[in-house]
Chain A
Amino acid sequence: MRKYIVKKVLLFIPAIFTIITITFFFIRLAPGGPFDKDKNVPPEVLQNLERYYHLDEPLWKQYIRYITNVLKLDLGPSFRKPSYSVREWIVLRLPVSIELGIYALTFALSIGILCGFVSALKQNTWVSSLIISLGIIGICIPNFVSGPLLALFFGIKLDLLPIAGWDLPQQKILPSLALGFIYSAYILRIFHSSLTEVLNKEYIRTAKAKGLSQSRILIVHASKGALQPVVSFLGPAGANLLTGSFVIETIFHIPGLGREFVEATFNRDYTMIMGIVIVYAVLILIFNLTVDIIQGWLDPRISYD
């Protein structure tokens, strides 16, 4: 197990290096630079700016400079925020995105698993069909529709909850729901099908024959096996939650990293884009590794050779 983790972590290094390289050259393909403005900046001023940020050097030199700096954990200055370094800026905004992601995932997991249980408990009744249909409808409602609708309904029509900001607990409810919604539907579907599958297995039938109650069987015996597909779904889902949260961050005006990332891309804030990509990549790799480990715990048959 330990050997497996060490191996995986060592494999992170070339992966991150590849990502840095791809992104570094890829973003420079897009037309326009960080200092292109609506109102023309005189060439002599532009030259100074480019010299200041070493943008006048040949690309390979900039690349080597960047890699060297990253090894020193220096992500460079932001082009857009003159007095902030990229690292400082990420430290400011990442926690918000992670917090939002945690709430959304908690919501998605609890709703998804609860509904999964209920539908499995009431197998082949109208309750179960209803939940399953809602699950399918759920995965068809993207967050840029559910977000504004939630805001409109709970924030304005009912005047229950604030619709922007990230300071007060009540401000965090709607965005977490909107972000987690579609994932709860996915989890419900996955959990439902794996649960039904497990329920038809030998050992569960035996347990039933012994006269154990349905809910006890579900919770104690079936769930461990049935949770495994859910856990493996969490890998990509976690990554998507993290990088895809910017729609919700924009709608609810949350100062997270996702929104910063999209803004940085539109502004060609190269160093900021690079920094965020690196942080995302590291987080996603760690997330996937954690999921691997949890999966091993849930199913001892998986070997880590």
Chain B
Amino acid sequence: MIRNRILYLLFYFSPLSLFIISCSENSFSPYNNLRIGNGAEVQDLDPSIVSGVTEHRVLSALFEGLVSLDPKTLNPIPGVAESWEISNNNLLYTFKIRKNAFWSNGEPLTANDFVSSWKRILTPSLSAEYAYLLFCLKNAKAFYEKKIQNFDEVGVKAIDDYTLQVELEYPTLYFLTMQSHNIWFPVHLPTLEKFGDPYTRSNKWTRSGNHVSNGAYRLVKWIPNKIVLLEKNPYYWNKESVRIHLLSFYPIDNQLTEERLFRTSYLDLTSTVPLKKIDFYKNNRPGNLLLFPYVGVYYYRINVTKPPLNNPYIRKALSLSIDRKKITEFILRGGEQPAYHYVPPGLGDYKPPQILEYNPILAKQLLSQAGIPDGKSLPPIEILFNTSEAHKTIAEAVQRMWKENLGIDVRLLNQDWKVYLVSMNQLDYQVARSAWIADFLDPINFLECFLSYSGNNRTGWNNPEFDKKIELAYREANSQERLKLLEEAEKILLEELPIIPIYFYTQKMLISERVVNFQPNVLGYIRWQDLGLR
């Protein structure tokens, strides 16, 4: 500490300091300030345009949707809406907006704000990338595609200032929980109009000083690449429950740097933990390490259109010869679970069929059944992954397992992210590393990726039986029946194996002892207003 100060003084009187006197405010001051490592820089602070874990963390502090989530159970709890009613056919939702809901500039928040915000998203000129998430509203897709011109036909209506009625296109059992996604948050249209055309993307309303929000916090300043600083919103309806005065989000995309900053007490909460630091914290500072399941699955995608992998026996053999436990225990070491099925555990009552296993002897037999007595006679198989040390290590391990257990030669190929995406979309690969993180807590979110016409399929696999089960599940109103259909669909998927699940993610974080009341959950969702600082 003293050394630090001496150096500081030395530096301060050196000629170099002439350049830098401007910024002497210590932005890492810990006083009543939660300092959060937030991975990458936020793209923007407009909840209707951006989407991503990084942005969601900030936006969920700035804004509040109709309903919020209980961080423990992940069940909907009142947000801007103090109560709601659902019709018997699950198509009509009526929300009562609370009368004490205000914008951060003191103006009252009404049902109309939701209507205008959602209309903005569905206006094609805005080109909101995530507009499709709103397509579950009645006629929303038709409006977006300009098939209908009148927004009154879209399923969202303000009955009066404090009553919002939402009509859905089809029963969407997860409609309420979905409201925690920032695309559903309201924006203050008068503010947007003040800073440009609200229906273009270049509006300046998200800058420091311009921003207006309705959540527990409001924007103090956003200095790109440095900090997003939020303070308690004095107009928030539940401001008494907000305990921490300031939230500082630092965009730190280098995991090692982030971890170092945490270790040197410049951060209270990190976005992740570098793979190789987990052991250090497990052994030395277990109180700072948070590892908990996360609804995401890491898997290998297989291009089933090209031989030899169009042969399901070979795919099965490949799956049987991956020792998933070895990967999770010795390489990942962050409490990840080996994936013997596709849909991660923790999604309510859904019981995924556990049919995958590690069995190299059976794998070898299957290979001979497929007419290949020895893997050496197969041409080399190539595993594609996007550039990253972690993916590389796993690929190298799998490469070795396939070689040892089946005798198959495996080549590895890493491509930069965009090239990798193009290769997958054009089915220009054999085996590719992939992952899926839940958008919302429902198994269908995982399974619908493999509908034959889904843009997320990217394997060339199609199975009419599978498609039928998923389509039936979309319309099924009985939740038990629906889960059964989904379980059957997953079973088909796991028997044909267009993908090889490898492990289920964990959320990894470092958290300081100062932070109290932190509630881990499978979504990685943090309700900032509940947190406290010691």
Chain A residues packing against B (C-beta within 8 Å): 30-33, 35-45, 48-49, 51-52, 77, 80-85, 89, 92-93, 99, 102-103, 106, 148, 151, 155-156, 159-170, 172-173, 250-253, 255, 266-268
B470 to chain A, nearest CB (A): 16
B43 to chain A, nearest CB (A): 6
Q: Is B3 an interface residue (CB 8 A)?
A: yes
Apart from A45-B128, A268-B418: 10 A-B pairs, beta carbons within 8 A:
A32-B419, A36-B422, A48-B124, A48-B127, A51-B127, A163-B264, A167-B25, A168-B8, A250-B254, A253-B254
Assess whether A30 is in contact with B456, with CB atoms less than 8 Å apart.
no
Query: Taking A51-B127, A52-B125 as contacts, is the C-beta distance between A102 and B422 under 8 angstroms?
Result: no
Query: Taking A92-B224, A163-B257, A253-B252 as contacts, is the C-beta distance between A81 and B43 under 8 angstroms?
Result: yes
A154 to chain B, nearest CB (A): 10
Could you tell me which residues of chain B, from 242 to 296, have a CB within 8 Å of some CB in chain A? Answer: 252-254, 256-257, 260-261, 263-264, 266
Assess whether B266 is in contact with A160, with CB atoms less than 8 Å apart.
no
Assess whether B266 is in contact with A172, with CB atoms less than 8 Å apart.
no
Residues of A contacting B124 with CB < 8 Å? 48
Assess whether B418 is in contact with A30, with CB atoms less than 8 Å apart.
yes
Assess whether A167 is in contact with B226, with CB atoms less than 8 Å apart.
yes
Assess whether B11 is in contact with A82, with CB atoms less than 8 Å apart.
no
Q: Which of B8, B27, B46, B266 is the one whose CB lies under 8 Å from A83?
A: B46
Assess whether B418 is in contact with A45, with CB atoms less than 8 Å apart.
no
B412 to chain A, nearest CB (A): 19
Query: Taking A31-B422, A36-B421 as contacts, is the C-beta distance between A266 and B416 under 8 angstroms?
Result: yes
A259 to chain B, nearest CB (A): 9
Query: Taking A33-B418, A83-B206, A156-B263 as contacts, is the C-beta distance between A169 and B257 under 8 angstroms?
Result: no
Listed by A's residue number, 18 A-B pairs whose Cβ atoms lie within 8 Å are: A30-B418, A30-B419, A32-B419, A35-B129, A37-B129, A42-B455, A52-B201, A82-B202, A83-B205, A85-B202, A156-B264, A163-B264, A167-B27, A169-B8, A169-B12, A250-B254, A253-B257, A266-B416
Residues of A contacting B50 with CB < 8 Å? 82
Residues of B contacting A162 with CB < 8 Å? 264, 266
Assess whether B421 is in contact with A39, with CB atoms less than 8 Å apart.
no
Q: Which of A52, A168, A172 is the one whose CB lies under 8 Å from B24?
A: A168
Q: Is B355 an interface residue (CB 8 A)?
A: no
Interface of B is mostly: loop
Taking CB as reference atom, which chain B residue is nearest A164?
B257
Assess whether A82 is in contact with B44, with CB atoms less than 8 Å apart.
yes
Q: Which of A32, A49, A99, A267 is the one whose CB lies under 8 Å from B127?
A: A49
Assess whether B46 is in contact with A89, with CB atoms less than 8 Å apart.
no
Assess whether A31 is in contact with B19, with CB atoms less than 8 Å apart.
no
Query: Taking A164-B261, A167-B23 as contacts, is the C-beta distance between A45 and B131 under 8 angstroms?
Result: yes
Q: Which of A32, A49, A77, A99 is the one whose CB lies under 8 Å from B19?
A: A99
Q: How far is the CA of A248 from the CA of B12 in the complex (A)?
A: 23
Taking CB as reference atom, which chain A residue is nearest B8?
A170
Q: How far is the CA of A155 from the CA of B16 in the complex (A)?
A: 20
Q: Which of B204, B225, B439 is the one whose CB lies under 8 Å from A92?
A: B225
Assess whether A36 is in contact with B418, with CB atoms less than 8 Å apart.
yes
A185 to chain B, nearest CB (A): 21
- Residue total for B at the interface (Cβ-Cβ under 8 A): 62
Assess whether A45 is in contact with B127, with CB atoms less than 8 Å apart.
yes
Assess whether B224 is in contact with A89, with CB atoms less than 8 Å apart.
yes
Residues of B contacting A166 with CB < 8 Å? 226
Assess whether B454 is in contact with A170, with CB atoms less than 8 Å apart.
no
Assess whether B129 is in contact with A83, with CB atoms less than 8 Å apart.
no
Q: How far is the CA of A164 from the CA of B456 in the complex (A)?
A: 38
Q: How far is the CA of A42 from the CA of B27 in the complex (A)?
A: 41
Q: Is B478 an interface residue (CB 8 A)?
A: no
- B20, B145, B456 pick with most chain A CB within 10 angstroms: B20
Q: How far is the CA of A83 from the CA of B202 in the complex (A)?
A: 4
Query: Taking A40-B454, A42-B132 as contacts, is the C-beta distance between A161 and B7 under 8 angstroms?
Result: yes
Residues of A contacting B517 with CB < 8 Å? none
Q: Is B118 an interface residue (CB 8 A)?
A: no
Residues of B contacting A42 with CB < 8 Å? 132, 455
Taking CB as reference atom, which chain A residue is nearest B23?
A167
Residues of A contacting B49 with CB < 8 Å? 82
Assess whether A45 is in contact with B129, with CB atoms less than 8 Å apart.
yes
Residues of A contacting B12 with CB < 8 Å? 169
Query: Taking A160-B3, A255-B226 as contacts, is the C-beta distance between A267 and B418 under 8 angstroms?
Result: yes
Q: Is B207 an interface residue (CB 8 A)?
A: yes
Q: How far is the CA of A230 from the CA of B456 in the complex (A)?
A: 56
Residues of B contacting A92 with CB < 8 Å? 224-225
Q: Is B172 an interface residue (CB 8 A)?
A: no
Q: Is B87 an interface residue (CB 8 A)?
A: no
Taking CB as reference atom, which chain B residue is nearest A33?
B418
Taking CB as reference atom, which chain A residue is nearest B196?
A83
B63 to chain A, nearest CB (A): 16
Residues of A contacting B131 with CB < 8 Å? 45
